[in-house]
Structure 1
């Protein structure tokens, strides 16, 4: 008699882990960027944030979305139209990506206007800050605005009736416009039906009503669009304006300069800037009540589909509401003023050079003042012992104290060499102006390396001292921009370590001459050594974990995209390495995937300041390494930019870096946790737990 087969009681085998290059292990970078914008928009909803700061976050979300369409969507459209099949690691085709972007972006825009109309405007009105609609104007307000229209608007507006002799005008990127439907005939017997009114670019989009003249409150405002709506009939005598609807078009704003074919990069970039205003259209925003026929007419004119249409209930240029923060003097509705710390040794009465000779100095902006960085160059300009100053400038602002100091140094006869990155997106015009100013002062100005953006943040001084020539350096994770230094978190390191300084000297030689450096001792640089070094350090952690040695990584940066780095992190997780990633924005890695990324945790911090520091910690079997960098882990940073990554070797500074990293990992107030499906969940404090906000603790001096 045949016996029954034995029934196994063992649990079913787990599904094998997917291959590490499988598309299912990668999040799309564009969709991940949209999720970052969703986290910014959440700040506008957070009632713990002061009211006017919530409005600011709404404006930032709007501005971010503008740039997203100008650059990222425009690039995807170009790929789709060219029929390219090339995809990122997630393997989403350009066509499918555009559909996914449209769905998510429409949701974000709808939420943006819901927050504005249902939350912020009513709360602002309760606080005495009002945006008056036309139906709410009293007689004095109406009279004052009519006079404003006559004196300020009418002389500069040029309404354009549309007919064969008046074709559809060129519409500037992101400008405020109106489409008007007309009835009747003009003085020449013409009746086109439609006209376009372009709002003057020189006039403010928000008009503050004078209280005494109009009987208004101290903070009553009217949108420029409302004034144009109210008086649009005056622009078309003897005709009737039946409808007036605001619209705005967003265009491809990426510049194309064939660097191999130009003799003068500055002139080439300068020549391309005007084209940004009239690139291919990628998005149309129209008032929500605009009739279907007029919407279709605009879509046809801009060669867009209905998926590119965003009908909005409110101003099409929400970001112009940012002006309110300067116009309204209500400190209780803003973040409390914050004065960054300033070590007396680094202040006006201190000796900065003597302090740096004693020890390396680490600054964490904006918690530490940016003034010592400006003074580093300013003092060098007036120091007769300083012979030469070399600096990179990526974004520094149109009115830069740093550039002022460089100009003064050049005028004082010092050797000043500045590497100006002309192609810093949306700062090209400012950088061209700064480059011309520096050249006029006698500075040596170069524009980096053809084909590579110079994104490194470094300054080198050469000073004659009793012992001979000594080099001093400042290396940073962020730009030499005093304004953003109060808004972004960044690290800066002062040092006169001879080996570190010599590495930076070699890098400047590589940027300004046509020579090739043989190798750097401490600094890792892109596009040469940085990528390989990061992979090697990740693999070393994996080997240490497999051998039972301490193995841990904490990586803090703005974006994680480059596939080979992600695969290396997956391998390290599989080997048992504990990995914490603090990624502000784009993250294409999926944490928590069984058998692949069980040991990886990803969090994003979104708060009062924009997190911008790049810190890389490797346990290294009990001999930890700490690096600061100008580079995120993206293909462009590794392979198409000049970047620096430099070690922090002082035990005291290493302890500080670890304390601050652990503080970010403990944040349960402003942190968002990434899940394997690409969703972010807010990390609220557990019941009974003490709330921890890393930025607030750092402001308090933790």
Structure 2
């Protein structure tokens, strides 16, 4: 092994570009569409999620890189790549991957769905009866909402909404005013579904037939231009920069500034053009010119331009045999929530792992607090919650019942800003005090504090989580919930809220790690402590689970620990800038990504610490934004039984050999396959079997 003192850990060769790593994650999602261990409709779901993820990638990440180029801020990242180089690689990867996505749809999923009597009909396949129904639907629902736009000097190219479905139409002939421009644009009505399920009476029994809105508009496009001939009609879609640009120093009212910016999100700078692959070159050139894009920004697709909207059909198909079997989330066997939840928490700390265990106790804790006459105050952070949130309903009830309710709402939670503005207004109208966190630092911590008078004294209860207060997410994402009345942790959370809602110097906390103040520093200290154990000849082990790992100082600390002989096992779902397997640097580090039925979302930090192991759950990923520019919490799990449980749950992820992908030194991922003598292990299936109340079958 090379002398570690001779190796410059700042060298760009030791780091993977975060954007390209992010794309690699999305490619792993797409690969699930080909994995026949998933039920067929869930494979279609993964295909749709890939499309949605890629939309956001262009709206935010590509937009940021283009912005850097536009304003001459071409600074290389820790990986040494400049924005222009990263964009070139992104376009090359996306061109290949998008083509593969449509191949999977057309050559694999649609034929297999057809074999299951689920048909997506082309126009030539419509029966006479179906055609009559579709014609009526066009007359009654589509045509009244469409406003075709002929292009001429008085009708310039329209400003089209981000990701909206549109058609460019080639025309022949003159209109009623004698105009002969030859081109028109048809914006599809945004209020209509992109895929229609035909009525049961029009299809054979036991079958599902769907038609695309785009097919209907294609079929009747000529009727939108009476007296003219439609020579061609081609769908297209433009993706725009959707990141909000708010100058915090110039903004006196964040809520008002956000309301102004939200409208502009639909009309940001163009980032990508998707167009039907049969569209003539001259029309594609025309569109590229209108959007100020070039060939690298163009994606020709063989199918609907927005496959993300296909997700709408899944719930319209009553085929439980083609979905994962339902399951009932469990509850810890040694916790009795039938009594007062406050009584249960006083008896022992409670740990829940969602979705395998129920999120209901978290909601019930707040509901009980809203009604309990002993509860005097509730403080809560909200990041992503949901428009019909039971959590918000309980907070509203608490405020109306005279509790002192304080809610820290993060208005800048990307793509949830509008919903959070609505929730903030609703809570304020109920009498809650609503604050919007700290300027320049997103409040990403998931914390709830309840103050209850018991006898002659006040007792505090807290809930801490790795995920959002969102019941829907709690059924789809893996996350931890922790409920305790530990005095030190409760006092720490009290101080966190003081800093969020008031002003003053940094407050010293006892047990929590608290970003942006102590979390980054303490994580590096714990990594260094493990390195010192290895240097002393002791066994040393670090296990970290997060959604992303990109922070350079943390990565260098892990490299130094690896050089000293620390075994480091990382479970990183998405982007990872650490490059494992480099001789003399990271050969003791393994990085794996788990992609399965549920979205991996838990953040857990484990350190062997010479046998006196420490384990933390957290709201923070291992990224610059989380550790340095957000309000985050990491909280210790100290009860021995809970520690042992979390260690076992974390360890099973390191043994997964059916849904795990291992990061290679070159930045690619290879899927793990069990050997002939190996027992197949799926972490998510294991958790379903061991934590959920019933699963039917534990496919995950």
TM-score normalised according to structure 1 size: 0.97
CA contact (8 A) 1:673 1:683 kept: yes
User: For residues 357 and 132 of structure 1, do their structure 2 counterparts lie closer, same or farther at Cα, with a shift above 3 Å needed?
Assistant: same
Alignment deviations for residues 677-698 of structure 1 (CA, whole Å, 9 cap, x no partner)? 0010001111121100010010
SS in 2 for 1:588: coil
Q: Compared with structure 1, are the counterparts of its residues 490 and 428 closer, same or farther at alpha carbon in structure 2 (3 Å cutoff)?
A: same
Partner of 1:189: 178
CA drift of 1:349 comes to: 2.6
CA distance in 2, matches of 1:390, 1:585: 32
Q: How far apart are 1:517 and its partner, in Å?
A: 3.8
390, 393, 396: which one aligns with 2:382: 393
SS in 2 for 1:185: coil
> 1:650 aligned to 2:642?
no
1:414 pairs with 393, 399, 403, which one? 403
Measured after TM superposition, the shift of residue 466 of structure 1 is 2.3
1:320 and 2:306 are equivalent in the alignment: no
Does residue 204 (structure 1) correspond to residue 193 (structure 2)? The answer is: yes
Pick from 248, 258, 270: which aligns with 2:237?
Answer: 248
Match of 1:145 in 2: 134
Specify which of 554, 564, 568 is matched with residue 579 of structure 1: 568
Q: Paired residue for 1:50? A: 39
CA distance in 2, matches of 1:518, 1:238: 75
Q: Distance in 1 between matches of 2:335 and 2:198?
A: 46
Please say if residues 506 and 517 of structure 1, whose CA atoms lie closer than 8 Å, have aligned partners that are also in contact.
no
Given the alignment, which residue of 588, 609, 613 partners 1:624? 613
Please identify runs of 4+ aligned residues in structure 1 that moved more than 3 A.
12-18, 213-218, 343-348
1:101 positional shift: 0.3
Superposition deviation, residue 533 in structure 1: 0.7
Partner of 1:530: 519
Task: Answer with 508-517 or 497-506: which moved more.
Answer: 508-517
- CA distance in structure 2 between the partners assigned to 1:568 and 1:15 by the alignment: 13
Contact kept, 8 Å, 1:157 with 1:200, in 2: the verdict is: yes
Counterpart for residue 26 of structure 2? 37
Give the Cα separation in 2 of the matches to 1:69 and 1:17.
Answer: 40
Which residue among 536, 550, 557 is the counterpart of 2:539?
550
- Say whether the 8 Å CA contact 1:179–1:195 is kept in structure 2: yes
Would the aligned equivalents of 2:203 and 2:209 in 1 still touch at CA under 8 Å?
no
SS state of the match for residue 643, structure 1?
Answer: strand
2:433 to 410, 424, 444: 444
Q: Please state how far the C-alpha of 1:346 moved relative to its aligned partner.
A: 6.1
User: Which stretch of structure 1 is more off in the superposition, 334-343 or 165-174?
Assistant: 334-343
Counterpart Cα distance in 2 of 1:518 and 1:156? 58
Partner of 2:85: 96
Q: Is the 8 A contact 1:17 1:594 kept in 2?
A: no
Quick one: which of 27, 41, 52 aligns to 1:63? 52
Mapped pair 1:504 → 2:493: yes
Given the alignment, which residue of 106, 115, 134 partners 1:126? 115
Which of 177, 181, 187 pairs up with 2:166? 177
Contact 1:391 1:458 in 2 (8 A): yes
Is the alpha carbon distance of 1:342 and 1:279 closer, same or farther for their aligned partners in structure 2, counting shifts above 3 Å?
same
Q: Which residue of 2 aligns with 1:222?
A: 211
Match of 2:249 among 243, 260, 266: 260
Shift of 1:260: 1.5
Contact 1:70-1:253 within 8 A present in 2 as well: yes
Deviates more, 1:322-331 or 1:349-358: 349-358
For 2:210 and 2:659, the matched residues in 1 are separated by: 32
| Partners of 2:198 and 2:209 within 8 A in 1 | yes
Change (3 A) 1:13 1:202: closer
d(CA) in 1 for partners of 2:501, 2:301 = 50
Q: What CA distance in whole angstroms lies between the structure 2 residues aligned with 1:169 and 1:343? A: 57
In the superposition, the TM-score normalised over structure 2's length comes to: 0.97
Q: Distance in 2 between matches of 1:414 and 1:675?
A: 54
Flag the structure with more relative contact order, 1 or 2, with Cα contacts below 8 A and sequence separation at least 6. Answer: 2
Given that 1:209 and 1:216 are in contact with CA atoms closer than 8 Å, whether structure 2 keeps it comes out as no
Task: Confirm or deny: 8 A CA contact 1:17 1:595 kept in the other structure.
Answer: no
Give the C-alpha shift of residue 557 in structure 1: 0.5
Distance 1:378 1:329 in 2: 34
Q: After superposition, what is the alpha-carbon deviation per residue over 1:77-133, rounded to whole angstroms, capped at 9, x for unaligned?
A: 111222223121001011111000000011110111011000100000110110000
Alignment check: 8 A CA contact 2:380 2:449 kept: yes
Q: Does 1:458 align with 2:447?
A: yes
User: Number of residue pairs matched?
Assistant: 691
Query: Is the Cα contact below 8 Å between 2:4 and 2:563 reproduced in 1?
Result: no
CA shift for structure 1 position 140: 1.2
Displacement, 1:544? 1.3
Q: 1:17 to 1:182 in 2, by over 3 A?
A: farther
- Contact 2:384–2:468 (Cα < 8 Å) also in 1: yes
2: CA distance, partners of 1:679 / 1:551:
28
What 5-or-longer segments of structure 1 have no aligned partner?
1-11
